[in-house]
Structure 1
């Protein structure tokens, strides 16, 4: 059973086939995909493939991605992995993880700042690691450990 989570303002839930239109609306926006590491969607079938990929990753225990919904306002506003406090707690406390990593475009100042604020430590640069719009980009590699001692 997919783990639903809540924060003060958000509901984090499983992404289903009912969310294909919301996923398309989100990932067809160049401002959203600019630092996402994938091309901007052009067709609804691409959104369906993303939903299927998220479901398969969870079933095969390779990854987990939640849909983000504002409390009291149905419809996804985006997706999230291990990069907010509640999700990090879930990873350490419920999944028994000892390390959570994050890869972020160097130019993505907001995400770089957020990860540092959450206690992630920058480990280094992965050169030409992610592709966006047909161009290779350097990324920062971050991690946070369960036992930071």
Structure 2
């Protein structure tokens, strides 16, 4: 059963084929992709395959991806999830993307905090990582605000539009309860 998460203003739910057009719109937008390290999506068929892959990754405990929805409104405003999930090593990397019209409203931090809580409590993660382009100021600030610690720089780690980019690597370590 796919977990549905709630926050004050958001519902994080499984992505479905009904979200395909919104995902295509988001991940073909140059503003969204500027710091994402991904080629633009080009077709609904491609998006539907990606949604199937998300479902398979969850079934195989390799990742989980939620659609972010505003409470009381149909349709997603972005995505958030974990990839590189290792149950053996109790770690995963978080990633998120919001549609530009939802930027600057605190939705990303609200979703990140809820997903972190789920990762530590339900997925039994001990480490949550994040990899972010060094010039992605908004995301770098968000991770620090969420409690992540910058561990270092990965040089020429991600390519965007065939240009190598440096990234910061962050971690958030679960605090052991005594």
Aligned to 1:129: 157
1:105 aligns with 2:105: no
> 1:148 Cα deviation (Å)?
7.1
> 1:104 Cα deviation (Å)?
0.4
Report the 3-state secondary structure (helix = DSSP H, G, I; strand = E; otherwise coil) of the residue aligned with 1:73: coil
1:59-78 matches, within 5 Å, as 59-78=59-78
Aligned to 1:87: 115
Name the Cα RMSD after superposition: 1.5
Q: What is the rounded CA distance, in whole Å, between the counterparts of 1:148 and 1:116 in structure 2? A: 20
TM-score, normalized by length of structure 1? 0.93
Q: What is the rounded CA distance, in whole Å, between the counterparts of 2:172 and 2:31 in structure 1? A: 27
Q: What is the rounded CA distance, in whole Å, between the counterparts of 2:167 and 2:176 in structure 1? A: 23
TM-score, normalized by length of structure 2? 0.79
Report the 3-state secondary structure (helix = DSSP H, G, I; strand = E; otherwise coil) of the residue aligned with 1:65: strand
- How many residues were matched structurally? 149
Aligned to 1:42: 42
1:24 aligns with 2:19: no
> 1:70 Cα deviation (Å)?
0.7
**Which consecutive unaligned segments of at least 5 residues does structure 1 have?**
none
**Which consecutive unaligned segments of at least 5 residues does structure 2 have?**
82-93, 96-111
Q: What is the rounded CA distance, in whole Å, between the counterparts of 1:53 and 1:126 in structure 2? A: 27
Q: What is the rounded CA distance, in whole Å, between the counterparts of 1:8 and 1:98 in structure 2? A: 25
Report the 3-state secondary structure (helix = DSSP H, G, I; strand = E; otherwise coil) of the residue aligned with 1:50: helix
Q: What is the rounded CA distance, in whole Å, between the counterparts of 1:132 and 1:52 in structure 2? A: 25
